[in-house]
Structure 1
Amino acid sequence: MSGTTKTIEFKIEGMDCGHCVKQIEATVGGLPGVEEVKVSLASNSASVTLYPEQISEATIFEAVEDAGFDVPR
């Protein structure tokens, strides 16, 4: 992929195990326009590197919520 990437960090509520982390990383990582995903159970947060011309922050938040977790805004 080409273009400029942007990294966003946001809180995720509802994670309680490593499986939750893997589920979110797989869900968000599979979205077109996402370069890298790092989810931290310890800080209940995620860092996502994305191509803003291909995917919006709202789309990422919705994917996390569709997986059964909350993204406080």
Structure 2
Amino acid sequence: MIKKLVEIEGMHCENCAKKVENVLYGLPEVESVEVNLSDKNAKIILNEEVDDLLIADVINSAGHYKVKDITEIS
């Protein structure tokens, strides 16, 4: 299991958080997603490595969101 924390600008409401969650679940490697609207981030658990650029592209293309940073967490 690989865990990543994705910092995201542009999420302002529950609909934004749900949209980000849905696009991340579109990646076949994603096991779970936990979007935190107040902290403006998403914790994702992957069953195999996914390039950070792909994760950023998926989120950035979902709307007016911009990924600021992606870090691997334990």
TM-score range, shorter chain: 0.7 to 0.9
- The size of the alignment, in residue pairs, is 68
2:44 to 41, 48, 53: 48
2:28 to 28, 32, 37: 32
Runs (5+) with no aligned partner, structure 1: none
Q: CA RMSD in A?
A: 1.2
Q: Cα offset for 1:59?
A: 1.1
Q: TM-score when scaled to structure 2?
A: 0.83
Q: Distance in 2 between matches of 1:49 and 1:30?
A: 13
Structure with greater contact order relative to length (CA < 8 Å, sep ≥ 6)? 2
Q: Distance in 1 between matches of 2:51 and 2:29?
A: 9
Q: TM-score when scaled to structure 1?
A: 0.84
* Structure 1 or 2: more strand by fraction: 2
Larger Rg: 1
SS where residue 37 of structure 1 aligns? strand
